[in-house]
Each structure stands twice: as structure tokens, then as C-alpha cells.
Amino acid sequence: MSKELAKTYDPKGIEDRLYKKWMDNGYFHAKVNPDKKPFTIVMPPPNVTGQLHMGHALDETMQDILIRFKRMEGYEALWQPGTDHAAIATEVKVTEKLKKEGIDKNAIGREEFLKYAWEWKEEYGGKIINQLKKLGASADWERERFTMDEGCSRAVQEVFIKLYEKGYIYKGSRIINWCPVCQTSISDAEVEHEDQDGFFWHINYPIVGEEGRFVEIATTRPETLLGDTAVAVNPEDERYKDLVGKMLELPLTGRQIPVIADEYVDKEFGTGCVKITPAHDPNDFEVGRRHNLQEINILNDDATINELGGKYAGMDRYEARKAMVEDLDKLGLLVKVVPHNHSVGTHDRCGTTVEPMIKPQWFVKMDEMAKAAIKALDDGDLEFVPARFDKTYLHWLENIRDWCISRQLWWGHRIPAYYCDDCKETVVAREMPKICPKCGGTHFHQDEDTLDTWFSSALWPFSTLGWPEKTPELEYFYPTDVLVTGYDIIFFWVIRMVFSALEQTGKAPFHHVLIHGLVRDSQGRKMSKSLGNGIDPLEVIDKYGADALRLTLITGNAPGNDMRFYWERVESSRNFANKIWNASRFIMMNLEGKTVTEPEDLNGLCAEDKWILSKLNTVIKDVTENMDKYELGIAVQKVYDFLWDELCDWYIEIAKVRLWKAQEDPKAAGEALWTLRTALTQGLKLLHPFMPFITEEIYCTLLPEEESIMISDWPVYKDEWNFPEAELAVESFKEVVKGIRNTRNSMNVPQNRKTHLYIVGKDEKICQMYEKSSRSFINLAYASQIHVQDNKDGIGEDAVSVVVSNAVVYLPLEDLIDREKEIERLTKEQDRLTKEIARCDGMLSNPNFVNKAPADKVDAEKAKLAKYKEMKEKVITQLEQLKK
């Protein structure tokens, strides 16, 4: 064998080299191949601004495991990669960069700004892709896409126009999330809710014409009072029935507003009277529409009070709040201020408190498309793994509001809507119209807004395959097979992909959605910048290798469940890699210069060889089933246990006996070597999707004629490898060895002390079974000789017995210990325990100690006394046995 493994496993020395080999050979590239079944995963596109974090690492590792598994199973496996333009995040970064260079975004204008944005994307946009490659991601990089590339942009425009023409897209005034700092509408996905300490301000609204009578409301945002257009009570609330229809003086405004009845009001909460501000609260907006209330927006885009705010106009929202509360107090209308901790929406990019605000925006009607997405789940076209996430999906779809898709940004897909300068007619088209269809005017300007980032990523499963063109890729690879994603974006992204795909292609975009949890720190906290507890996956890779990180992330992983990251677990994964490496070196060293062929008759193999083949066969079957059910954590644990426990800790040790005696029995040694090589190569294949680098290096060194483990065949279950009798034989002997080890440990027998071993089987068949395997287990059992018999003849009375399920094992006492030395040791121990008992007795019979010492100290001494007495009894019994 010309090649050999390095003495020590060094991931740094192999990972980049092997990744380059895979790339150079085009192993990741998938083609339309009618002779193969397709298997497709679309990579959730990381933000072009992004940097690899643990969530990404888990997400990408899971996808890579599935794609490598299916590739080896013989599928034409496409893992479609790409990045998302990340509208707000990118615009913020480019704006900050320009600011540092003394350039004002607004001064240079849209076109110039976009040139800088594209330059930034070209320079920094590939960073996360290179980081994914460090992880070993075997995506088809030849097909890498970007949400703003020409093809994806065309798909976005096509969908917008189709939905508009169908009446599903409209422009209207509804409540949206507004960021006063970024000055754009933002999606629910970009709003982070955090608990903040605030107050409930209780304010009296005077009832018109009823001097001294008021309605008391409570609010967390007193400044929005300026936009109130009603106060609502529950129609069933007896306290306020006489007030419905009456008018109230709205403090500080000179306006009057009605009292209305609406079931939205919870009569048990607060005072049972709720101020209604339709322009600044989503629930109030719905109430306002039901009652035809006026919608008064009292804020400018920068969250200062606008001209409708009277004396407060121009003040910042919080400055106005303070001034208004002081004025209400002076008027005697401030009843009380109560501390209140409540959930506040903030923009995840800049941390600013978001303002719900009515603004004219573009929206997508959701009713019909939501129904189609619900039906896809009901019909089984779409399945969540685990199924409990059906509820989350349905809850969001059943309560979905129309989707605000416009953003006040420059970086993104510009809305294909054009306005006639003469008559203001709106024309949605693929390019700027020449003539206005309404007035014949020839001057137009395009809508300034861009589309929500989610609008383009909603089309990702089919836009990346060439839609709206009917490409061979779309025909062959779509619908995709599985989407892997975290539970935190089911509603934001998964739902949008499902209804978009159903609407545009008539098919659900994927068959399965595999949901994973979050990677938390060792204390169970979410990793975040504010806590400073994030762990950089690249740091882990640099220290321990990508394989160790991947194994750590997937071990114990259950779909939908969060996991904790421990450095100790990464070390354990690295230790596993070392174990496999060293075992492989041992096997290769013994294979050196030898030609090993498969035995003609596997039934002629010894029980130990059959046992490991049978164990391997079972693990192949189980792991394949687990992988098909997306139980990746269970699958890898079975591979780990097989390689570490069965192959390294047992079979290699068993096989050593025949390898050492190869000259005496070359046939037996050859069978051991073939079995070792077979178990290792098949085990490596099972491990490959999880730990691609180390498995590739060992496999191609072990089998230099093989091109790559990546393109080797996935192991399959074979009936001829099923040997239940051999499994029983070896598992029985393993039980014997474990029992012997435990007994020797409890008696402190040194490892180099060999013993005679007597195995008394429960019947003749069991005795024959032990007799056949005894030679292989002689070293593992620390035995000088193994005697198998069906009775106790010739076994001394003082022999120590070990009971196993189908036999009793006896170890002659004189083999285990030096009788005189053991009597001497136990006599000393008896003396020590006698003194300890006397000391405890003395303390516990002393009234000063018992009455004055802390109770726990007295209890501790009582416990010690009981323990010493028990130990002394055992020592006396052992001494009596030895002296007999």
C-alpha cells in the first residue's frame, strides 16, 4: 500500500486540500439526468451582509448531511445555493461606509448610491459563502444565485405584475410597522419584541354636557391621544351602556370624539374603556374600519409630532409625551401613573422602537392564497418534521393580515409601477409606458419604493431553477424535496414560499419542511451580540476542525428542539475523530503488503467476524431508515456507537489475536483483515455525511484505487450478512468480559495479572458456543487459559463467581490475589476502621458536641459512623473467607 495516514490527525492539514479536490472534480454539480431520480434542497439564502453564526452552521450542516447521503444513494442531488440582497441590512452598511468617506446618501442620489451598493456587494457579498465552504458545504456553487441577479429579478417582476393584474396586489393605506430611524416600513420578521419597563397613564376624558363626569382610559403611549377618534367599551358592559353614543372632550385638542361599543374591548382589563387611535394601532385600525372612524396620523416619518399636533408639533414623540403628561396633570385630568412592564416592538437592525402607522403602501391580499397554503398541508402535499409545527403554520395562516410589500429603500427590487405626471394614473408594467391609457399623457415617473426582501426570497425554490422560463432544471428538480430551517421563521419565510409557489407553479415548493431549534450557549441562553455569548463557528473549525464542529452540532439533535453548545462536546467529537484515525492506521498497518479478498463462503467465518458484519448490517439498515425520517441525531449516534464501541473497542481487540498469529494461521488472519477492512470502509461511508473530511482522507488512503468516498455507493442491508447466532455468541462473551472487568476492578486486581477462567454453560449448545470463541477473548478477559465445561468439577470452593445470562464464570481466588498480602492489607484496613468508629462514637457520646454543634454536622458524623461500621463488617467477612 503506497499511501499511508499521517501519524496524528490534523484537520488543518487536510480540510482545505480535500475541499479543493471535490470542487476541482465537480462532485457537487448536479445535472438534469433522466437515468437518475432527482433530490433537491434549496439553501435558505444567507444575507449578503451576513457572517457565519452557529444557527447557520447547524442549518447548513443538516442540509449537507442530507445531500451527501442522497448523492451516495444514487440520486442526482442538487443543493441549490445563493444569497439574499438583505435590503435594509445592506443599505445601512453601505450608508455607514459612505458616511465615513464624507458622502451623504441623499446628496448623491439613487443611481449613484446603487453603484456603491453593487460595489459593496461584489467586495463583501461572498464572505459567508467562503465560510460555508470551510464548513464542508457541498452545494452546487456553479449554480449560485443572488436574489437581485437578472433571473431572480425577472421572476420578481413577473409575480408582481401577475398578482396586480389578478387584483391580489393593491396600493392602500393600512397600518404598517414604521422605523423612524431607517425611515422605512418593515416586516413583522424585522420587529423584535422585548419587555421594557414603562407606565400606564390613567387619563380622564370629560363627557360632553355632563359637568364633572369622566371616562377613564389607561394608555402606555399618551402622545397618541392626539390621534384618538373614539373611546370604545364592550357592548355587554353594564357600567357604560348609557355612555354609548355620547361625545367626549378629547383633552389638549379641542376635538370631540364618540363613545362606541365594540366586542374587541375586554371589559375585565383595565377600566374597560379603550382609546381608539386607528392610525397608530393595528387593532384600533380594524375597530376604526368597522365604525367608519376618521384616521388621523399625528407623526412625521422621523417620529416627531406633525402639524396636526397643535402646540406639540415638531416635538420628538417622547418629548411630546412628557409635555402632554405635564399639561394633563395641570388640567387635573391625569388620574394616576402606574408602573407597567410590557412588550415593545423594536427594529432588529437599529434597535429603535417601531411605530405602528397608517401610510399608503403596496399590499398583497392574503385571503385566497392563505386558503391554498392551508389546503396544501391538509392534503399532505406539505409535511412538517416534527408535525407539531403544523399548528404554528396554521395559526399564522388563519390569522394572516394583508402583506405590506413596499419599502422606502433604494437597494432592492424597485416596484414596477409608473404614475402619469398629468393625471396621476397608475400603470403597472414591465417597462415605463410610452402613453397614458387614461389621458394620453407621455410623461411618467416610477414608484420610488422597493419590494420587501421576503417578496423575492418567497420565490427562491422556483426562481433559482429558471422560472418563469420552463427550463429543463425546473422540470427535473422542482418541486424540491426538503427545506431545512429554524422554527423562528416558519411564518415569515416558509409560509410566503408555500403560497407563492402554489400561486405561480400550482405545486407546493417542497414536500417536507425539516425544522430545527436554536443553538444556545451552555447556560441555555440565546446567543446574541448584547449578551456577548456568541461563538464563532470559524473559531471552532480553526481549533478542532470542521468535522468536530459538525458532529457536535448534530449529536443529540432532535427536530424542532433547541440544543446547547459546550466546548467539552467539541473536544469529545475531536477525540472521536482521533479514535477513528488511530484505528484506521492500525488496520492499514496490518494490511500493508497483503492482498485481501472476500471469503468465498461467509458462513465459514468465525463467530466474531460474523458478529461485526451482522452488527454493521443492522446499523446500515437503521441509519438509512433514520436518515429517511430526518432523524439525523439518532442516525449519527448509531454510527458513532458502532465505530467506537463495536469496531474499535471490541472487534479490533478481538481480531488482534489472529493478526499476531498470522504465520500460524494465515487463513484466519486473512479473514480478520478482510472483515476489518469491510467494517471500516462501510462504517466510514455511514459516517461520511456527518464528517466528510476525515472519512474522505481515510477512505482514499485505505483504498487508493477509489476516487472519492463522496461518489461511492451508500451501504445497503444484505440478508447474507445477517448472523443472529454469531451475535448471540459474541454478545454473551462481551457480557462475560464486562463482568470479569467489574469484578477485578472491585478487588483491585492489577491488569497484568492473568487468571484461569472457568465458564460453566447452562447447556451443551451454550458450552460449544463459548468454546468456539474462547481463543479470541483470552486477552480481553485477562485470562491465561479459558476452560468451558457444563459443571463445577475441579473449581475450588473459594473461586469468585460472575453470573451472566447463559452461564456462570468462575475465577480462582489465588489467581486474583496474593492471599498473604491481601490478609495483611485487610487487617490494616480493619484497624483503621476500628479507630474511626471509636472517634465517631466518642464525639457522638459527648453531650457538648451533640447539643452545641450544628445539626448538619451531627448528622454527618452519624452517617460516617454507619458507613464505617458497614465497611468493617465487609472487611471482617473477606478476612474470614481468606483465612479459611
Same domain, 191 and 329: yes
Whole-number pLDDT of residue 832? 93
Region 690-697: mean pLDDT is 98
Whole-number pLDDT of residue 529? 73
Same domain, 227 and 281: yes
β-bridge partners, 47: 84
- C-alpha 432/C-alpha 434 separation (Å) is 7
pLDDT band at 574 (very low <50, low <70, confident <90, very high): very high
Region 442-454: mean pLDDT is 95
Whole-number pLDDT of residue 710? 97
Domain end among 710, 739, 774: 710
Same domain, 351 and 290: yes
Same domain, 760 and 654: no
- C-alpha 765/C-alpha 422 separation (Å) is 102
Q: For 87-91, 97-101, 150-154, which range has the lowest pLDDT when averaged over its residues? A: 87-91
Binding residues for ATP: 529
Q: Say which residue, 766 or 613, is predicted with more confidence.
A: 613
| Extended beta strands in 553-596, E state | 563-564
Same domain, 311 and 195: yes
Number of Cβ atoms within 10 Å of the Cβ of 742: 11
Q: Tell me whether residue 514 is in a domain.
A: no
If DSSP codes are grouped into helix, strand and coil, which group holds residue 371? helix
pLDDT band at 875 (very low <50, low <70, confident <90, very high): confident
Q: Say which residue, 218 or 639, is predicted with more confidence.
A: 639
Same domain, 811 and 879: no
**472 upstream amide cis, omega within 30 of 0:** no
Summarize pLDDT for 80-90 with one digit per residue, the tens. Answer: 999 999 988 89
- C-alpha 228/C-alpha 18 separation (Å) is 66
Per-residue DSSP letter, 526? B
Same domain, 256 and 282: yes
Summarize pLDDT for 718-766 with one digit per residue, the tens. Answer: 999 999 999 998 998 888 889 888 888 878 788 888 888 889 988 889 8
Q: Tell me whether residue 762 is in a domain.
A: yes
Summarize pLDDT for 505-537 with one digit per residue, the tens. Answer: 999 999 999 999 888 888 888 887 778 888 899
Q: Tell me whether residue 94 is in a domain.
A: no
Same domain, 770 and 870: no
Whole-number pLDDT of residue 1? 41
Domain end among 356, 371, 400: 356
Q: Tell me whether residue 518 is in a domain.
A: no
Based on the structure, what is the number of domains in the chain?
4
Q: Tell me whether residue 718 is in a domain.
A: no
Summarize pLDDT for 355-370 with one digit per residue, the tens. Answer: 899 989 999 999 999 9
Output phi, psi for 316, to 5 deg: -65, 155
Residue 96 pLDDT greater than 60, yes or no: yes
Region 822-829: mean pLDDT is 85
**Residue-wise DSSP of 301-359:** TTSBB-GGGGGGTTSBHHHHHHHHHHHHHHTT-EEEEEEEEEEEEEETTT-PBPEEEEE
Residue 177 pLDDT greater than 60, yes or no: yes
Summarize pLDDT for 105-141 with one digit per residue, the tens. Answer: 989 999 999 999 999 999 888 889 999 999 999 999 9
If DSSP codes are grouped into helix, strand and coil, which group holds residue 487? helix
Q: Tell me whether residue 47 is in a domain.
A: no
Same domain, 217 and 293: yes
Binding residues: 529
Q: Tell me whether residue 649 is in a domain.
A: yes
Same domain, 733 and 829: no
Residue 858 pLDDT greater than 80, yes or no: yes
Summarize pLDDT for 735-748 with one digit per residue, the tens. Answer: 888 988 888 887 87
Residue 45 pLDDT greater than 90, yes or no: yes
pLDDT band at 2 (very low <50, low <70, confident <90, very high): very low
Q: Tell me whether residue 434 is in a domain.
A: no
pLDDT band at 774 (very low <50, low <70, confident <90, very high): confident
Q: What contacts 323, CB < 8 A, 6 or more positions away?
A: 312, 315
Same domain, 570 and 671: yes
Whole-number pLDDT of residue 817? 74
Q: For 149-158, 354-363, 731-740, 792-801, which range has the lowest pLDDT when averaged over its residues? A: 792-801
Query: In the predicted model, what is the mean pLDDT of the chain?
Result: 92
Query: What CATH number is attached to the domain comprising 189?
Result: 3.90.740.10
Domain end among 306, 330, 356: 356
Region 439-445: mean pLDDT is 94
- Alpha carbon 66 to chain centroid distance? 14
Q: Sheet harboring 273-276: ordered strands across?
A: 247-250, 255-261, 230-233, 273-276
Residue 74 pLDDT greater than 70, yes or no: yes
What percent of the chain stands above pLDDT 90? 68
End-to-end CA distance of the chain: give it in Å, rounded. 60
Region 447-461: mean pLDDT is 95
pTM: 0.86
Show the domain range for 831.
820-883
Same domain, 641 and 776: no
Whole-number pLDDT of residue 816? 77
Query: What CATH number is attached to the domain comprising 853?
Result: 1.10.287.380
Residue 67 pLDDT greater than 70, yes or no: yes
